[in-house]
A and B are shown apart, each in its own frame.
Chain A
């Protein structure tokens, strides 16, 4: 069985602060994919990143960075110099051999001006 845990239900920061969203996963599959999605107040889930289990390189995209560590089964997401537009619910997801993703419960990020 697969499991994704996002222990942080809600995070509140002030603009320009850095913030890290945690994601811990469990799977017995040796090949799997990890994802992050952003859900702004409008409701649509926006795909941010996909990582496969064989690629542990960290990735940076502008103010966003992702830290994948198989040793701790974690795939954490950091936003540098947060902005009000980053306010959203962020979901981490895991997809194994079944190609049916398992989603975490989401972390609500509130960035105050």
Chain B
């Protein structure tokens, strides 16, 4: 079974705080993704990574950065959290191969006060 874990299910932070969201996978997959999900907007891609120390911007990278020092861990960083970053954050991994499918972690509901 594919297993993707995220460090917290619920998180409450204050405006201006630095926030780390972590995603860990146990299947040695190379491709990892961070999305945010907002009502009526679906999933929007923030950043993704194809390998250690590699990162690519998605559709909405502003206000976020990422870190991938080890293959199994992909961190999303909010350098200075703002209220408009209150959202559901979803991490996904992608199986390598011809037919790729994304598998998701349980999500982190972040509230920025």
- Assess the B42–A104 pair: CB atoms within 8 A: yes
- Assess the B101–A105 pair: CB atoms within 8 A: no
Contact-residue size bin, chain A (C-beta under 8 Å from the other chain): 20 to 34
Which residues from chain A sit less than 8 Å from chain B, CB to CB? 9, 33, 35, 37, 42-47, 50, 52, 91, 93, 95, 99-101, 103-106
Contact-residue size bin, chain B (C-beta under 8 Å from the other chain): 20 to 34
Count of A-B contacts with CB under 8 A? 47
- Assess the A91–B105 pair: CB atoms within 8 A: no
> Given known contacts A91-B43, A99-B100, is B107 in contact with A44 (CB within 8 Å)?
yes
- What DSSP secondary structure best describes chain B's contact surface? strand
* Bound complex: CA A81 to CA B108 (Å): 32
Per-residue A-contact encoding for B1-45, CB less than 8 Å = 1, 0 else: 000000001000000000000000000000100000000111101
